[in-house]
């Protein structure tokens, strides 16, 4: 089968157009993988290194756009907050990725929403834990009050038991006299 001079460009155009319909697989999945790997890395950091990394990324994310460094800063902030650091505010760091005027790359936007949802879940769990701790403290106070009341009632029962025994003794002594 011979294509000839006119058939070769048509064949090339057909092959090239088929390549154009393939979905890109590199950058989006690489960004997601990099950020997921960074999440695991940040979770393993000690407090000092975590604070140092957080300071570095704060310096690097001075712009208001949604970048991978901003997502990393939010990841570090979540790790710091998880360890009790009050100054880390990952929800505020994520704001340009969630509500910014520019639409970030899908991988960054999806990761930002994932982190935001996780942060919101943690906040709900912290509120629930606080509420449960308050309920537990209240239940402990009630238990202590009931234990005190039980002790008082046991003392009253003991006193009444002694009075009853004394009355029985009096009754026996009266019966012996008669």
For 14-30, how does the pLDDT look when each residue is reduced to its tens digit (9 = 90+)?
Answer: 555 555 444 555 554 57
Q: What is the pTM of this model?
A: 0.63
Rg (CA), the chain: 37
In whole angstroms, give the CA distance from residue 93 to residue 66.
Answer: 9
In whole angstroms, give the CA distance from residue 123 to residue 130.
Answer: 11
Instruction: Specify whether the backbone of 67 is left (phi greater than 0), alpha (psi in -120 to 50) or beta.
Output: beta
Smallest CA-to-CA distance from 32 within 119, 112, 118 is with 112
Contact 106, 146 (CB under 8 A): no
Lookup result for tokens 């919101």: 120
* The pLDDT of residue 168: 94
* The pLDDT of residue 163: 96
The residue ranges of the chain whose pLDDT is under 70 are: 1-29
DSSP symbol at 87? S
* The pLDDT of residue 33: 87
Smallest CA-to-CA distance from 75 within 53, 59, 60 is with 53
* The pLDDT of residue 9: 61
In whole angstroms, give the CA distance from residue 118 to residue 122.
Answer: 6
* The pLDDT of residue 29: 58
* The pLDDT of residue 162: 96
Contact 89, 54 (CB under 8 A): no
């Amino acid at each position: 089968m011979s294509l000839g001079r006119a058939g070769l460009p048509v064949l090339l155009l057909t092959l090239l157009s088929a390549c154009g319909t393939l979905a890109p697989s590199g950058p989006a999945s690489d960004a997601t993988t990099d950020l997921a790997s960074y999440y695991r890395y940040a979770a393993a950091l000690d407090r000092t290194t975590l604070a140092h990394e957080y300071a570095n990324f704060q310096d690097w994310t001075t712009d208001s756009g949604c970048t991978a460094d901003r997502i990393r800063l939010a990841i570090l902030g979540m790790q710091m907050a998880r360890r009790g650091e009050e100054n880390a505010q990952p929800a505020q760091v994520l704001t340009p990725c969630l509500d910014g005027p520019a639409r970030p790359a899908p991988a960054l936007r999806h990761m930002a929403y994932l982190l935001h949802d996780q942060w919101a879940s943690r906040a709900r769990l912290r509120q629930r834990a606080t509420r449960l701790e308050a309920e537990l403290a209240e239940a402990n106070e009630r238990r202590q009050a009931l234990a005190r009341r039980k002790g008082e009632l046991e003392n009253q029962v003991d006193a009444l038991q002694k009075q009853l025994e004394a009355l029985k003794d009096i009754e026996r002594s009266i019966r012996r006299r008669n």
